[in-house]
Structure 1
Amino acid sequence: MAAEARSPRARYREQNRAEIKAAALQQLAEGGVQAVALTRIAKDMGLSGPALYRYFAGRDDLLNELIRDAYDDMAQVVGRVGAVRADGARAALHALAAAYLGWAVEQPHRYLLVQGTSLPGYAAPPDTLLRARAVLAPFLKVFAAGVPAEALRPLVDETAAWVRKERDVADWLAQHTGLAPQDDAAGTALAGAMLVWSQLHGTVSLEVSGQYAGMGHRAQTLLAAQIDTLADSFQL
C-alpha cells in the first residue's frame, strides 16, 4: 500500500525544520558548537522565539538532531564502500579509512560536532551510540578474517570477554559478521574495530582541527601508513 500523502501542514513543518538545521549547520561551520544560537536562527528566518520552539524544544534538542544526522551521513558514506572487495581485506580497510577521512575533511564542522569537545552540560542522546556503531560496523567484517599478533592478545582477550558479557555488543557483532560470542574471531573483530577507531579518531581529529598544518605531510599519507601497520598486525 502506498504511503499516505503528507498534509500541507506536515510538509511545511518538515521544511521549516530543515531550514532551521541548515542555519544551525552554518553557525556551526562559522564558529563551532558554541555559536549555535536559536535566537539568531529565529531572527534570520523571520520567526519569533516561541515559534521556533514549536520545531525544536531547545538548543540541545537541535544539537541532538544535528548529531544524529551527522552519524547517519557518515555511516552511509562509509557503508557504501563495503567491507568485501575482490582485492582483499587490506584494500577494504584502506578504502573504509579513506572514506571516513574524506567525509571528515569535507565537513569538518560536522565531524567535530560528533567527535570533538562537547558543550559543558550537554549530553548526546543515548541513541547516538547505535549510530556511532553503524559507522564502525563495516570494519568488523574486515578484522574478523584477521590473525592478531601476539602483542595484541591482551586486547583480543578483553574484547572477547566484552562480547560475551554484553548482549547488545554481541547482537551488533552478529548482525554484521554472523559471529557468535563464543567464536574465536569475535574478540579479533572487536579488537580490530577498536584499534582502527582509535587510529582514525586521532589522525582525523588532528587533521580537521588544523594541527598538521605546516608539518610537511598529508593526513592521507599518514593514515595509509597507520592502516598498513594495523593490517600487518592482523596479517591482512
Structure 2
Amino acid sequence: MTKSKWIDISQPLDDKLAHWPGDTPFEYVTEYTKEQTGSVNIGKMTTSLHSGTHIDAPFHFDNEGARVLDLDINRYIGAARIIDASSFKQLDEHTFSQFDLNGVTRLLVKTSVSNNPTHFPQDFPSVSACGANYLGKNGIKLIGVDVPSVDHPDSKELSGHHALLQNDVAILENVMLDLVPDGDYDLIALPLPIRDGDGSPVRAVIRPLIQIQKGE
C-alpha cells in the first residue's frame, strides 16, 4: 500500500518571520564560512523559543510549571483531527460542540486568520476557559491553532493557557492550515530537548490518516 506524503504545516524560520511584538526576532547568519574554516560553513541563529510554529511549556506562563524536557513527547506524535472553525469568533464551548470530537485526542483548529508568516495579526480568536474545559472533558490532550497564541495578543491573564493546563491539554501554536482539508491526520510536532525551556520551535508535519481495511 502506498503511504501518503507528509505535509509541512510549519512556518519557515527566516528574517522575514513576524514575531510577537517586543520579543526577539529570528535571525540566521553564516558565522563561519567554508573559506574561513577550510572545510565547512557554520551557521548561528538567534531566536525566541516562540518564533514560528512552536509549543508552549507550562513554565511559559507558570513559574512552577513544567519545562520542555519535562513534557511527554507522545503528546506531539499521533492521530490528530483538523477542524475548520473559521466561521467562529471565539474558540469556546459553543464552537467546539459543533464538531465531532469523539475519539479525538489531538485537535488542530483552522481559524479565520490567513496564514501569513510575515504578518503578525493584531486580532485573532482565542481559547476561552469554557472552551478549554470542554476540550478536557472530551479527552483532548493537545490543541494546535493557526495563530500566534491560544490567548488574545492583549491578554495579560492568559486565561486560555491556564485553563488548558488545568485540563491537561498541551499547546501548539502557529501551525499553517489554510491549504489543508479538514479531516484526520498523523501529526508529528516534536519540541527540541531544551531542558529548561519555556517553549520550543517545532517542525510540524501531517499526513492523511488512512484507514487500513481488514485483510489488506
Give me the TM-score of the superposition, normalised by structure 2: 0.25
Higher relative helix content: 1
Higher relative strand content: 2
Higher RCO, Cα 8 Å, sep 6+: 2
